[in-house]
Amino acid sequence: MKQLVVTSFIIGALACTLRADEVTDWNQILFNAALIAKTSPLIVLRQAAITEASVFDAVNGIDNRFTPIHVFERGPQGASTRAAAIQAAYASLAKLYPDQKSTFDRKRTESFAALQGHEDAGSVWAGIEWGQKVADTIWNWRSTDGLSKVPPLFEGGPAIGEWRPTPPAFLAGLLPQMASMETWMIQSHDQFRPVNGPNALSSAEYARDFKETKEMGSISSSTRSADQTLAAQFWGNSSSPSYFWNHVALSLLSRGGQSLSTNARLLALLDIAMADAEIGCWDAKYYFISWRPITAIALAAQDGNPATQADPNWVPLLVTPPFPEYMSAHSAVSSAAATVLAEYFGNDTAFTVSSDVMTDVTRQFSSFSAALDEIRSARVNAGIHFRTACNDAQSLGTEIARYVLEHASRPVRNSTH
């Protein structure tokens, strides 16, 4: 009976051209949904990891080419990997964005229509059931990861060097519970916490960073070039760094030659590395609780460093985010992403980055390391970070990504695929 229902469903689905890859199609649907919902950039990283881990474990449970992310049960023999990928993505997104379920229903109908004439109905049904099971399992796992905890308001403190709410909104610290969330692949949120932390306020290194951000990051800077201003705005105005790097991955994958399984694996590794880098970064933020440049520059007369000069009227180019400065989350997450993509495509791969907000602007790079150089400077030139926070964050992101690459989704010996 189930097989008959699915056969009727597929035959009655909308006719459409065969898509190249259901995995990449649904990745785009994921980020469109996040943009429509105006999801916090911090939360998008988690949503993407949930969706892509589900898709990968659904596909891989049937193919058995790599070790799984979380679901170790084998999928049904002969089940459609394409149907499993569709259903795993659909089921994840329907839970993450229930208000958009009608859109996901339509997209799923279109996706299954593309299988007509290419997949056996029984195989499709088995893939649907398996994809749903995997998505449910990963959803249940991540539903208790600690993000839903409601901690007391975090307002830092009045000590010199300590973070406190910043203008213009003077909001409490955002998502302090993320600092101790359950990780995806690394052993704990503090596994890669830096030993030294931010520079001592009395140090020459702190004064050097202070002067750079004060000069380059001011909204009225005469030193920052027009292109540096554009880069700071470009990297600072997006629904999430996750959007940038997933779309870079899609553009590179569109050059062809990869299997459905390989694409699912890359996107899962990419999004899991970024999600763990975010947790590791948040651990550092709420452990060191370092003040932002806008506070540091206004109160420089109290920092004990004769090489820093106060300016209570100083304003950064971009609005300061409501959480501690050290480390730069964008730098950590981007470094994790670039490390994964460089492992797949090579560091010296040329690519273009587009934005979901500044849709008329793109940035071109000759390598992943060149992009990271720009991002590091962009956070300084935006006036929201010191250089050391960006350097250390990129080191953390690289370490976490390498750990993920070494421990997640490893090739299975004697695989016939």
Rg value, the chain, Cα: 23
Q: How many CB atoms lie within 10 A of CB 251?
A: 13
* Angle ∠(113,114,117) on CA atoms, nearest 5: 90
Beta bridge partners of 363: 353
Q: Give the pLDDT score at 240.
A: 81
DSSP 8-state secondary structure symbol assigned to residue 71: -
Mean pLDDT across 217-238: 96
**Which pLDDT tens digit goes with each residue over 7-46?**
334 333 323 333 459 999 999 999 999 999 999 999 999 9
What per-residue string of b and e applies to 144-154 under the rule 16 or more CB within 10 Å gives b? ebbbeeeeeeb
Residue 385 has which token pair? 């970070």
Mean pLDDT across 313-342: 98
**Which pLDDT tens digit goes with each residue over 138-174?**
999 999 999 999 999 999 999 999 999 999 999 999 9
**Which pLDDT tens digit goes with each residue over 365-377?**
999 999 999 999 9
d(CA 391, CA 121): 53
Domains of the chain (ranges, CATH numbers):
2-142 (1.20.144), 176-407 (1.10.606.20)
Q: Which of 12-16, 89-93, 312-316, 343-347 has the lowest mean pLDDT?
A: 12-16
pTM of the model: 0.93
Mean pLDDT across 259-281: 97
Residue 118 has which token pair? 């290419």
**Which pLDDT tens digit goes with each residue over 383-394?**
999 999 999 999
